[in-house]
Structure 1
């Protein structure tokens, strides 16, 4: 299932790595694409949208939708 999140607070490669690792800790098979300019995180995963958003929030980022 495809999930798209708007995430505030991302600004660099470290942010991309932190978010990717947090999502893959929840679902090792997840496909993650991060667009820093658009503040978008696209995730292909069978995990729930809420669980994925919580994983991003736990890294200190704000998930807007």
Structure 2
């Protein structure tokens, strides 16, 4: 399981964009977003750095939570 802190995530559109970015790396990933805390929890077998890079490419800074 991977947890990312995504401080720029502020709305439902952001949640969708971040989720889409994660799914572009691992389409079977289970993505749970807690918008108030800005934490994205991802159950995946993909490399964490690839997930983080995809989220960053989508326009959202992130770091391990």
Report the TM-score, using the length of structure 2 for normalisation: 0.92
Match for residue 44 of structure 2?
45
Q: Which runs of 4+ in 1 moved over 2 A?
A: none
Unaligned runs of 5+ in 2: none
Q: How far apart are the structure 1 equivalents of 2:60 and 2:21? A: 11
Count of aligned pairs: 64
Match for residue 13 of structure 1?
12
Contact 2:52/2:63 (<8 A) preserved: no
* Larger fraction in strand: 1
Report the TM-score, using the length of structure 1 for normalisation: 0.92
Once the two structures are TM-superposed, the CA of residue 19 in structure 1 deviates from its matched residue by 0.7
Check if 1:25 corresponds to 2:38.
Answer: no
Match for residue 63 of structure 1?
62
Contact 1:3/1:44 (<8 A) preserved: yes
Contact 1:8/1:64 (<8 A) preserved: no
